[in-house]
Amino acid sequence: MEIREAGPDDAGQVLDFIRELAEYERLSDRVTAGPEDIAGALSDGRVGVLFALVDGEPAGFALYFFNFSTFVGRSGLYLEDLFVQPAHRGLGLGRRLLESLAATALEHGAERMDWAVLDWNAPAIAFYERLGATHQDDWLPFRLEGEPLKRLAQPAMQSDQNMSEDNLEELLARLNAEIGSGEGLSADQRAALEKIHAAVEQALASPAGGADPVEGMRAYVEELEDSHPTLTLTLGRIMDALNKMGI
């Protein structure tokens, strides 16, 4: 019996454990994650995963990430998932996983560990209490998802889009002036930039159709980066504005 860290190549096994846990918790219909989602989160450090091994094979896992407490000014470790396969329960794997997580928390300067448990899962609640964990009954968890989340975000997103549109008009005027001056540009470069300018205007007029102006700009940003830094900066800012607008 040993504990090891999981990596992006273990995403499939992690997802299998997530699905087994969801089935145990009667929440299978809520699992929409794919292997690429898990692999990406492991690759960029958004989450960490520990495997508990029996005879060299994963028999349980713990998935966690770090949060931050403003009250104490230090990180905390949040345990999102803890699961041991039924055939391997009673071997102390859950405790070993939590011991390793506690060590990980302290190694990263974390002040505490937090997790949630379903209110009907009496065996798990009793297990956690034996470890010295306490139920935080003075806090109520809230969640915002789906349509209510989108509805709440809409005013801010619309405001960002309006700001992007205003900014984009100024940037297009600047690009037009720089193309017009033609300083240091070859005829082919000027023609390409004129096409980009037209493609951006077309995208603004009809966001759902037409060519993707950002693709054309990426190539010229690289080509002009050394010889035309001001023009490169303008193109980069136009791309940022288009991305904010979802174009």
Residue at 61: amino acid letter: F
- What torsion, rounded to 10 degrees, do the Cα atoms 80, 24, 13, 142 define? -20
Q: H-helix or E-strand containing 219?
A: helix 213-224
- What torsion, rounded to 10 degrees, do the Cα atoms 138, 143, 149, 155 define? 10
Q: Which residues contact 160 (CB under 8 A, 6 or more apart)?
A: 244
Question: Measured between alpha carbons, how far apart are the two ends of the chain, in Å?
Answer: 52
CA 235 to chain centre: 27
Give me the catalytic one of 24, 78, 128, 220. 128
Contact 188, 209 (CB under 8 A): no
Active site residue 78: no
Q: H-helix or E-strand containing 116?
A: none
Q: Which residues contact 62 (CB under 8 A, 6 or more apart)?
A: 49, 50, 52, 79, 81, 82, 83, 97, 98, 100, 101
- The residues annotated as belonging to the active site are 128
